[in-house]
Amino acid sequence: MFDFSLSELMVVLVVALVVIGPERLPKVARTLGHLYGRAQRYINGVKADISRDMAIEEFRQLQQKVQAEATALEQSVQQTNQTINQEVQALNQSVAQKSTDSDQKTP
């Protein structure tokens, strides 16, 4: 994120030592460390929330795709069932017609 070289870091530390003073520098450094840790935890929490939301959205999209495929499959099965029922009715009519024709031919 920030690109500090060793010499730049040393200059910042020397300025901090002069401005803050040697007595208060450890306390300030400790406070800055705690604040940095809190900031990191907050950022990690936000990242986790974002990735969780993205995963939930991906699952919703997957669920919609699965539902669409299931609906298409159900329609296909219903159409096949209708076709089979029509064929069965046609066969039943043919069998019924043949049986009536054979009954009429036999005296």
**Environment class of 16 (CB within 10 Å of its CB; exposed 0-12, middle 13-18, buried 19+):** middle
For residues 68 and 91, what is the distance between their CA atoms, to the nearest angstrom? 35
pLDDT at res. 65 = 97
pLDDT at res. 1 = 53
Q: For the chain, give every domain's residue range.
A: 6-99
For residues 47 and 107, what is the distance between their CA atoms, to the nearest angstrom? 91
pLDDT tier for residue 27 given thresholds of 50, 70 and 90: very high
pLDDT at res. 17 = 84
pLDDT at res. 33 = 93
Q: Kindly tell me if the per-residue pLDDT of 29 is higher than 80.
A: yes
Q: Kindly tell me if the per-residue pLDDT of 75 is higher than 90.
A: yes
Site of tokens 């990242």? 47
pLDDT at res. 78 = 96
